[in-house]
Amino acid sequence: MPAIQRPQALKQPPSKKIYGKLSDAALQLTQDKVVYDGTYYKIPYPGGDVPKGKGVCTDVVIRAYRKLDVDLQKEVHEDMAANFSKYPKAWGLKATDTNIDHRRVPNLQVFFTRKGTSLPVTNTASDYKPGDIVTWMLAGNLPHIGLVVDKMGANGAYKVVHNIGGGQNLDDALFSYKITGHYRYKK
């Protein structure tokens, strides 16, 4: 007669999926004092970052993913090196630059479209979930990027973590600017 199988102890609940972890990572970034600084810095590759306490909107996304062991500097560089013609030429570059390529919103838009999931841009709050990446156009021609997080705003949309000049902030600003892109990315 076979032995009786005893039930195993209940396992821990599964950890948050990547998008929930990304939301948490972005929220953690709001605890760091960061001054908006778009200076071009020479940084190590891979795993490089601008000096602590400095950054722009793209650095919010880069640093949140880095907390999940995803190096967007490396990921963007490798895709750009293999597919340079698919990326914008607005800066007059003839080759990749590991110091800055991943810190440019238009490059991230191409990367997330190519390697992630490009989602519809809508005016419906429920279409945007924690962990989503959103790009906007400010003042007509200034690209901007941020992360949707698991904190509800007063208008019924999730809030975003971004750096629009005042550091890495949590704001109820999802629909405050013209949305130009909506993405999900997991490696």
| pTM, to two decimals | 0.91
Question: Which pLDDT does position 16 carry in this prediction?
Answer: 72
Q: Which domains does the chain have, with CATH numbers?
A: 18-184 (3.90.1720.10)
Per residue in 102-125, pLDDT tens? 999 999 999 999 999 999 999 999
Structure-block tokens of residue 179? 């949305």
Least confident of 2-6, 77-81, 113-117: 2-6
Least confident of 24-28, 80-84, 139-143: 139-143
Question: Which pLDDT does position 64 carry in this prediction?
Answer: 98
Helices (H), the chain: 18-29, 57-66, 72-82, 105-115
What is the C-alpha separation between 37 and 181, in angstroms, rounded?
23
- The full DSSP string for 3-21 is PPPPPPPPPPPPPPPHHHH
Q: Residue written as tokens 């997991």?
A: 186
Q: Residue written as tokens 């990572």?
A: 25
Indicate if the pLDDT at residue 161 is higher than 70: yes
Per residue in 123-147, pLDDT tens? 999 999 999 999 999 987 999 999 9
> Rounded mean pLDDT of 95-106?
97
Structure-block tokens of residue 173? 């600003």
DSSP-based three-state secondary structure for 87: coil
Q: Residue written as tokens 């102890």?
A: 9
Question: Which pLDDT does position 187 carry in this prediction?
Answer: 86
Contact 29/137 with Cβ under 8 angstroms? no
Per residue in 34-64, pLDDT tens? 999 999 999 999 999 999 999 999 999 999 9
Q: At what angle do helices 57-66 and 18-29 cross, to 10 degrees?
A: 130
Contact 111/126 with Cβ under 8 angstroms? no
Least confident of 11-20, 24-33, 39-48, 124-133: 11-20
Question: In this structure, what are the phi and psi dihedrals at residue 85, rounded to the nearest 5 degrees?
Answer: -65, -20
Q: At what angle do helices 57-66 and 72-82 cross, to 10 degrees?
A: 110
